[in-house]
Amino acid sequence: MKTSINETIKVGAVFENTKARPVWFVWKKSKYAVLAITYQWKTRTGRETQHHFAAQGPEDLYELVYNSGTLTWTLATVETE
In this prediction, residue 76 has a pLDDT band, given cuts at 50, 70 and 90, of very high
pLDDT in tens, 21-66: 999 999 999 999 999 999 999 999 999 999 999 999 999 999 999 9
HSE-up of 1 (CA within 13 Å, CB side)?
A: 2
In this prediction, residue 81 has a pLDDT band, given cuts at 50, 70 and 90, of confident
- With the CA atoms of 8, 5, 23 and 69 taken in that order, what torsion angle do they form, in degrees rounded to the nearest 10? -40
pTM greater than the 0.75 cutoff: yes
Q: Which domain holds residue 39?
A: 2-79
- What domain count does the chain have? 1
